Amino acid sequence: MILYLQLFYEFFKTGLFTVGGGMATIPFLYQMSDATGWFTHTDLANMIAVSESTPGPIGVNMASYVGFITGMKHNGTPGAVSGAIIATLGLVTPSIIVILIIAMFLRNFRNNKYVNNAFYGLRPASAGLIAAAGITVVMATLFFQDTLAEGFSPAAINWQGWVLAIILWILTNKVKFTKKLHPIVFIAGSAVIGILFSMSA
Amino acid sequence: MKLLLDLFLTFARIGVMTFGGGYAMLPILQREVVETKKWATEEELMDYFAIGQCTPGIIAVNTATFVGQKKKGVSGGIIATLGIVFPSLVIISLLAGVIESFSHVVWVQNAFGGIRVCVCVLILNAVVKLFKKAIVDKFTLVIFAVVTLGSCLTNLSPVIFVLLAAAAGIILKALGGKEQ
């Protein structure tokens, strides 16, 4: 019971302070992982990939997924389903409250000077938070943590991972025929490469 | 009652058809909400979407709440929101259960090893895209740098950075930040 209240609270906070969409919830989920230990950074990276590859807004998918995994560790399948529902409701509750207030009382919200000025600061901060989360994912994925703990050496670098990352970056940014493709194509391709080259580490 | 059911089902359908959320869902919203259901005009929808971007939370969810509220008040807002999250809940719950039960299989672990590399690149691409939109002058560059470093090097909650950045935006704009 306490766990579900905590889950609701954590996602309520995420919903209330997330600005922008898509990846913007991810920094909050890394913080949640550190603060609660409900799931690992590796779990989180896997969940990002699944959330990108399934229908629905990424932020909502992430909440459902985190709630599911956390609930399952606590109380098996019934716990998992309750966890998914509670986390998702926690995420959307602030939206419902804020939007209803704006829709009823603040029709000029968008033209408010202070709101616009706050966003002048919030946009770069949101980009910065996601960049920091990205650095965490890169450190966990493209370097071997166990080896890195003994000091930096070429053995700590996941060379296979770097080669794949550079190829993916070129395909998603530079190649005319592939850069418009949906991320799911690259995720599926990376899964195949991962299997062929045994990239589990 | 019939309208509430219609709101739930329509937004559930939009949820199923949205891959990735955010801007990807705009054409689908236009088709369903403006053209098929005529629940809002093109201009109203663009307004809702714009407000959805500058209010807390997921843009898709905010836009759903707005349209639902317009059609059927508070209950409409809540039902439309539940509609848009419903497919995510069902699909993720089914999929997460399957993935968990195969997570010890070696080739599944290898597949996710490759997939995590892809996630690095997808996040990098998202940051570059946001960076181009958000960094318009030296003030915004400083905010980006401070938040990136601060978030990497400390354990402070993102909540702190968000609150400070909003305050900084208001103060810096008063000091002559660039118009966007």
- The whole-number pLDDT of residue A55 equals 87
Rounded to 10 degrees, what is the CA torsion of A56, A60, A65, A70? Answer: -170
| pLDDT, tens only, B122-155 | 889 988 988 998 899 999 999 999 999 999 999 8
* B66: Cβ contacts below 8 Å, ≥ 6 apart: A99, A103, B48, B51, B52, B77
Chain centroid to CA B66: how far? Answer: 15
C-alpha A131/C-alpha B71 separation (Å) is 39
C-alpha B140/C-alpha B126 separation (Å) is 17
- The whole-number pLDDT of residue A37 equals 93
The two counts, helices (H) then strands (E), for chain B are 7, 1
Question: Which amino acid, residue B47?
Answer: D
Q: Which helix or strand (DSSP H or E) is residue A114 part of? A: helix A113-142
Question: Which amino acid, residue A95?
Answer: S
Instruction: Determine, for residues B55 and A56 on separate chains, whether the beta-carbon distance falls below 8 Å.
Output: no
Q: Any idea what DSSP says for residue A157? A: B
| pLDDT, tens only, A91-120 | 999 999 999 998 887 767 777 888 888 888
Q: Any idea what DSSP says for residue B34? A: I
* A35: Cβ contacts below 8 Å, ≥ 6 apart: none
Is the pLDDT at A17 greater than 60? The verdict is yes
pLDDT band, residue B19 (cuts 50/70/90) = confident
| B98 contacts chain A (CB < 8 A) | no
Say if CB B81 and CB A95 are below 8 A apart.
yes
For residue B123, give the chain A residue with the closest CA. A134
Set of chain A residues whose Cβ sits within 8 Å of the Cβ of B78:
96
Question: DSSP of A3-54, one letter per residue?
Answer: HHHHHHHHHHHHHHH--SSGGGGHHHHHHHHHHH-SS-HHHHHHHHHHHHHS
Interface size A-B, in CB pairs within 8 Å, comes to 382
Closest approach of B39 to chain A, Cα-based (Å): 15
C-alpha B126/C-alpha B23 separation (Å) is 13
Q: Which helix or strand (DSSP H or E) is residue B20 part of? A: strand B19-20
Out of B56, B78, B172, name the one closest to residue A16 (CB).
Answer: B56
Out of B89, B118, B177, name the one closest to residue A64 (CB).
Answer: B89
- The whole-number pLDDT of residue B78 equals 97
ipTM of the complex model: 0.87
Instruction: Determine, for residues B96 and A68 on separate chains, whether the beta-carbon distance falls below 8 Å.
Output: yes
pLDDT band, residue B177 (cuts 50/70/90) = low
For residue A188, give the chain B residue with the closest CA. B115
Q: Any idea what DSSP says for residue A143? A: B
C-alpha B175/C-alpha B159 separation (Å) is 24
Say if CB A117 and CB B83 are below 8 A apart.
no
pLDDT band, residue A190 (cuts 50/70/90) = very high
| B29 contacts chain A (CB < 8 A) | no
Closest approach of A30 to chain B, Cα-based (Å): 10
pLDDT band, residue B1 (cuts 50/70/90) = confident
Set of chain B residues whose Cβ sits within 8 Å of the Cβ of A127:
127, 130-131, 134-135, 144
| pLDDT, tens only, B64-85 | 999 999 999 999 999 999 999 9
